[in-house]
Structure 1
Amino acid sequence: MHHIMMKTLLAASSLALLFAVPALATQTTPSELAPLHDTSPVITLVEGSERRDISRAEIESLPLHEIELRHFEGPEGRFAGVWLDEFLAAQELDTAERLRFIAHDDYTIFLTPEDRREKRYLLVTRLDAEPLTLNEFGPTLLVVPADAEAVEAGKESMTRWIWSIREIQTR
C-alpha cells in the first residue's frame, strides 16, 4: 500500500512540474556581461546650470547586475544595469534633495533620498545582453526589482518605473 501511495505521489509531483508555469526570478545577481564601450551620449545630467552628457560606457563602468523579469509594458527577459545609488554616487549626485527623471515623451518622476532608501532602483541599459534602443524602452530605464511581481499583478504602483530616460535633474 505504501509503495502505491509513493508512486501516486511521485506521478502527481511530476505532472505538477510538467505543467507548472515558470516564475521569473525577482532576485538581482551580479552580471558576467562585459561593459560596453559605446561613448555616445544616452542620458543628460542637469545640476543647476551645468549639463553633462553620460554614455552607456560611463554607466556600465560600474558593476552590472541582472534580473529576469517581465516588464508590465511587455518586454521580458534578462534586464541588466547598475544600481541607481551607485550611479548617483559616481556622478556625485547622491546627496541631491530630489531627482527628476524625464523620459523622451516628457513623462516625469521624482525620487528623494527617502524613496531610494525604501527601495533599490536598477538603472537598466540592456535586455538579453543587447543595448536597449529607444524603440525598446531605452536607452535607459529605471525598474524596482523587488516590486516586479507585485507591479505585474497590479498590487504595487508602477509610477516609479520610467523608461526612455533622456535626462536626470537635481533639485
Structure 2
Amino acid sequence: MKAILSAILLLTGLVWTPALALDKPKSMVILTIGGQLENANRGALQPKRDAFINGQDQTFSKAAEFDRSMLADLGLDYVKVGFKDWPRPYGLRGPKLNDVLKAAGVSRDATIAVTALDGWTFEITPEMRADNEWILAIQDGEQPLGIGQRGPTWLVFKPADPDGMATEEEEGQWVWSVYLMQVQ
C-alpha cells in the first residue's frame, strides 16, 4: 500500500517524505535539543539522570541528542573568527546550525534558546538565523573543542570583517560551551 501511495504521489508531482529517524548517539552526548521538534531520539527529561540540565531549571518532553560524530557527519564548514582581546584568531569547523536543526526536525520559523554550561542563554530568532550563517563549531582547526576551550560546541557566525575580526556586538552573540538548545 505504501509503495502504491508513493507512486501516485510521485506521478502527481507531490512528494511524500516521512519524518527522518535520528540515530541514537554512540558516544558521549555533547548537544541536546529539546522542545518543538519532530526527530527526537530520546524521551522526556529525567530529573535524576539529567541532573545538570534539571539543575538549570530546564525541561523537555522529548529531545534530539548528538554526539561529536553525529554533528561532524552533518558536514564541517569553516569560519575564521577573532576579537581584539583574544590572543589569536580561531579557525573553527562545525556543521551549519540550520543543518543541525533540520536533522532534529525543527521548523525554520522557530526561535531557539541556546544555553551554555554556565547557564547563560541567548535567543536566536528566525530573522537572526536568516541574517547570518551560523556554525556550531566542534573543532579549532583539527582539534576538538573541549570544555575549557569554549566547547563542547561554540555557536558563531562569520563576522562582517573580511579578516574575521568581530565587533563587540557580533562577539556578544556567540555562545560558547553550548550544550543545550530549546526550540520554542
Q: Considering the TM-score relative to the shorter chain, is it more than 0.5? A: yes
TM norm structure 2: 0.64
Residues 153, 129 of structure 1: CA spacing in aligned structure 2 closer, same or farther, 3 A cutoff? closer
What secondary structure, in the 3-state scheme, does the structure 2 residue paired with 1:164 have?
strand
More strand per residue = 1
Residues 102, 160 of structure 1: CA spacing in aligned structure 2 closer, same or farther, 3 A cutoff? same
Q: Distance in 2 between matches of 1:152 and 1:168?
A: 26
RMSD after superposition: 2.5
Unaligned runs of 5+ in 2: 1-24, 36-59
* Counterpart pick for 1:100 among 113, 119, 125: 113
Q: Equivalent residue for 1:58?
A: 70
- 1:37-59 CA distance string (max 9 Å, x none): 97211011112411332111111
Asked if 1:90 corresponds to 2:103, the answer is yes
* Counterpart pick for 1:143 among 144, 156, 177: 156
- Percent identity, aligned pairs only, is 22
- For the pair shown, the structure with the greater C-alpha radius of gyration is 1
Unaligned runs of 5+ in 1: 1-36
Q: In the TM superposition, what are the counterparts of 1:1-171 in structure 2 within 5 Å?
A: 39-47=27-35, 48-71=60-83, 74=86, 76-95=89-108, 97-147=110-160, 152=165, 154=167, 156-171=169-184
What secondary structure, in the 3-state scheme, does the structure 2 residue paired with 1:133 have?
coil
Q: Which moved more, 1:136-145 or 1:83-92?
A: 83-92
More helix per residue = 1
The one-letter amino acid of 1:170's match is: V
The one-letter amino acid of 2:115's match is: I
TM norm structure 1: 0.69
Q: Which runs of 4+ in 1 moved over 4 A?
A: 148-153
Shift of 1:96: 5.0
- 1:4-40 CA distance string (max 9 Å, x none): xxxxxxxxxxxxxxxxxxxxxxxxxxxxxxxxx9721
Query: Between Structure 1 and Structure 2, how many residues are aligned?
Result: 135
